[in-house]
Structure 1
Amino acid sequence: MQVNNYYIKKGYIENLNDEGEVVKQYTSPPMDKIWQIEVYKFAAAVLKLHGLEKVIEFGSGSGYKLIKYISPITKNITGIDFEHSIRYCKNTYRVGNWISLDLDKSNQDFDGPYDLIMAIDVIEHLVSPGKMLEQMKSCAKENSLLLISTPERDLVRGYDTYGPPDNKKHVREWNFEEFNKYISSQGLNIVDHRLVRAKKYTAREWFYHIRKRKPLNTCQVVLCKLA
């Protein structure tokens, strides 16, 4: 299916099946421990810098990184994800409020407002990301910060790619300029937009990227406030 309203270049093809749904979906909690670490570290730095306390994460997965990088700073954390992930979190961790929700299909009122509202590499998985962004904004107050990350398509796939994404769990991917325009169109003011490393590289991967002159910082992060 061709994109028409996400500020993505003309001709780009999304990953959707004949029913207009994502091609492949998570059926169990994602258990990786190497992806998006730099994003969580950035979020932790934001918490410390601004003295924030109440945090909610949309698409918290297994909860591992929320617990590891955010809970040492504040125990006032809430994670939202599919039932299978939330069940795992409730059975695994002694801290945190865990809420089951399909971000593409459901709306829910949360015990807000929150100081920091996060969605870390989630937006590319959603058929209708605007629904999640509206939910995130509903959790915010005037001085809240919203942190959203996603792969930088051109750096990951190449500048001449027109989709669909190689990752079948991804519906669509944005480059830096496109994502900036899309987020800005959603009633949010971007206060920081940067590139960070998408994963923790092994020594072999590091030297491969350097030798091949491939970019290491391929994950884009926006920090926003309500417009």
Structure 2
Amino acid sequence: MTAANFFVKPGYQARTEPAYYADIHDDGTIWQPDVYPLAAVLAYQYECRYIIDIGCGRGRKLVALHPEFEIVGLDFGSNFEYCRDHYPFGHWFEVDLENGGGVDIPPEILRQAVVINSDVIEHLVNPTGLMQLISSYLVHAKVALISTPERDLERGYQDMGPPANPTHIREWNLAELIALLSNAGLRPAYAGLTLNNDRDRMYKTSLAVIPGQSLTPSEARDLGVFCEQWLGASPEQREAAHPRHLSGLTHGDAAAAPAASPLELGTRHIDKGEYDEAFQVLTGALEKKTAATPIPAILFQLGRLAAFRQLDGDARELFYQAAVRDVELTKDIVDFYIDQVTRARSGQR
């Protein structure tokens, strides 16, 4: 996993030719349903007037934020033409991200802006130019949100590419995405999972929230805490936390917006290599188990944790206990070991 292959696991086969993504399919499903609402909430929090969407497609989710915010969309081809022709109230720029395109946005606008890059990076043969563009905006912009499918959760641990979606060049798991962004100077204040769509409602999309350079280290930490709490909150709790009172979620009222479940939180810690934290969260969940505790899934994650720590006997026993309780986990266990063997053969642990 190196910068040369954009931090995707060794042996992974990426596509070499990009296919244009025409954002014309609309069956009513909302993809990444939390990304744009979170961007709006952060824009309120930082008193921003503008939402800038890099790779906006046909702009359905972006235009829903108007007129509360001035909207700026970047795309090219038929997507750009559609936005320009149908939404005259927006600011639209034709930008070919694959070929290093960009647009200079005045600092006075960026200082009042939140940037979105939602499920775009996986479409690019070389995402370097995109990351440089986001980095240049964050010199002044308050925050950027970057999402992309989580490969291991969408395709399985054994997936070695190319992606099933013909318009995708490559896909990352969460740990690889964090490494890619951090190497480009885009170190996330928050990195975790979010809903893939409002139909399946499965946590199979990676989301990274990057603080702008104007934020202090303390403010960046508060940003990360707030994002985790907001994403873990129920719709009712989000509604109660009116944008004008968002500070209550990170200062003195954290209980109003609970964090993710122990299973989700433990899994995130494992994916980030935070093994001590993962062990504490997952074993704590078992100690306080109720009838609703997903014991097989927790045992599976503890098995992953043991395997990563090279406690092979413990891993086998935990995987066995998980499979006994839920036979459907057998496939996940097999996929996990296939991925581990692949990594070992390529010299990666």
TM-score by length of 2: 0.55
Q: Distance in 1 between matches of 2:168 and 2:175?
A: 19
Question: What residue in structure 2 maps to residue 95 of structure 1?
Answer: 89
Contact 1:123 1:129 in 2 (8 A): yes
Q: Deviations over 1:165-216 (max 9, x none)?
A: 1001000100011101110110122111121111111xxx56xxxxxxxxx1
C-alpha spacing 1:138/1:126, structure 2 compared with 1 (3 Å): same
Question: What residue in structure 1 maps to residue 169 of structure 2?
Answer: 171
Larger relative contact order (C-alpha < 8 A, sep ≥ 6)?
1
Question: What residue in structure 2 maps to residue 45 of structure 1?
Answer: 41
Q: CA deviation at 1:31?
A: 4.3
CA RMSD between the two structures? 1.9
Deviates more, 1:133-142 or 1:85-94: 133-142
Contact 2:56 2:74 in 1 (8 A): yes
C-alpha spacing 1:143/1:62, structure 2 compared with 1 (3 Å): closer
Q: How does 1:8-23 map to 2 (within 5 A)?
A: 8-16=8-16, 21-22=17-18
Q: Distance in 2 between matches of 1:219 and 1:49?
A: 24
Q: Deviations over 1:126-169 (max 9, x none)?
A: 01111011112222335621111000000000011111110010
The one-letter amino acid paired with 2:208 is V
C-alpha spacing 1:57/1:146, structure 2 compared with 1 (3 Å): same
Deviates more, 1:140-149 or 1:190-199: 140-149
In structure 1, list runs of 5 or more residues that go unmatched: 207-215
In structure 2, list runs of 5 or more residues that go unmatched: 214-349
The one-letter amino acid paired with 1:8 is V
Relative to total residues, which structure has the larger strand share, 1 or 2?
1
Deviates more, 1:28-37 or 1:100-109: 28-37
Q: Deviations over 1:79-102 (max 9, x none)?
A: 011131121112111321001111
Q: How does 1:2-151 map to 2 (within 5 A)?
A: 4-16=4-16, 21-22=17-18, 24-26=19-21, 28-32=22-26, 33=28, 34-68=30-64, 70-74=65-69, 76-113=70-107, 114=110, 115-142=113-140, 144-151=142-149
Pick the aligned partner of 1:221 from 207, 213, 225: 207
Pick the aligned partner of 2:182 from 168, 184, 187: 184
Instruction: Say which SS state the counterpart of residue 188 (structure 1) adopts.
Output: coil
Instruction: Say which SS state the counterpart of residue 218 (structure 1) adopts.
Output: strand
Identity rate of aligned residues, in percent? 33
Q: Which runs of 4+ in 1 moved over 3 A?
A: 28-33
Instruction: Say which SS state the counterpart of residue 206 (structure 2) adopts.
Output: strand
Q: Deviations over 1:57-89 (max 9, x none)?
A: 111010111011x22431x22101113112111
Work out the number of aligned pairs and report it: 205
Q: Distance in 2 between matches of 1:66 and 1:42?
A: 12
The one-letter amino acid paired with 2:101 is N
Deviates more, 1:185-194 or 1:136-145: 136-145
Question: What residue in structure 1 maps to residue 195 of structure 2?
Answer: 197
Q: CA deviation at 1:226?
A: 4.8
Q: Which has the larger radius of gyration?
A: 2
C-alpha spacing 1:72/1:196, structure 2 compared with 1 (3 Å): farther
Question: What residue in structure 1 maps to residue 239 of structure 2?
Answer: none
Q: CA deviation at 1:7?
A: 1.2
Instruction: Say which SS state the counterpart of residue 179 (structure 1) adopts.
Output: helix
Question: What residue in structure 1 maps to residue 263 of structure 2?
Answer: none
Deviates more, 1:33-42 or 1:90-99: 33-42
Q: CA deviation at 1:11?
A: 0.7
Contact 2:147 2:208 in 1 (8 A): yes
Q: Distance in 2 between matches of 1:77 and 1:59?
A: 13
